[in-house]
Amino acid sequence: MSPVPRRTRRLLAEVTPIPSAVDLSLHFEGLAHPTRIKIVERLAATMEMRVSELAEMCKVSQPRMSWHLRTLRRANVISTRREGREVFCRLDREAIAAHLRSFVRLVANGKATRAAGVPGGEASPAGEVDLQQLINEVSR
């Protein structure tokens, strides 16, 4: 069987990007602050918000809010658009779902490894969250 040409691999990667370990760490690092969690929670409840509204809601200065939003944008958690002098933010649900799918694969591989007899115990179905259902809900 011949190997897949480099150009074909690149095109496939563009169509179905799989977040790398670095992407995953940046994504979850972007969520590692209570203010950024508040921002995500608020944006999840609305379609989009002005940066000034988010700053007021979180009780932080405009420069501090811009710093948090830049961190979330780099982590592929939000996207922004400019309309005149106003900047609007929204959740990047597709990117969040892609990172969750990648994380689920990572966790599922660990469960498969444990079930195969690798030290660390067997996978326990009791108390497990239906991760696919979670991903589907985030994607909406």
d(CA 65, CA 63): 5
Residue 82, domain member (yes or no): yes
128 and 86 within one domain = no
Phi, psi of 100 (to 5 degrees): -65, -45
pLDDT in tens, the chain (140 residues): 445 566 654 554 454 456 677 878 888 888 999 999 999 999 999 999 999 999 999 999 999 999 999 999 999 999 999 999 999 999 999 999 888 888 888 877 765 445 445 454 444 454 455 666 766 666 66
107 and 122 within one domain = yes
Structure tokens at 95: 């990117």
Measured in whole angstroms, the distance separating CA 28 from the mean position of its chain's CA atoms is 7
45 and 31 within one domain = yes
Residue with tokens 């690798």: 118
108 and 77 within one domain = no
pTM, to two decimals: 0.67
118 and 107 within one domain = yes
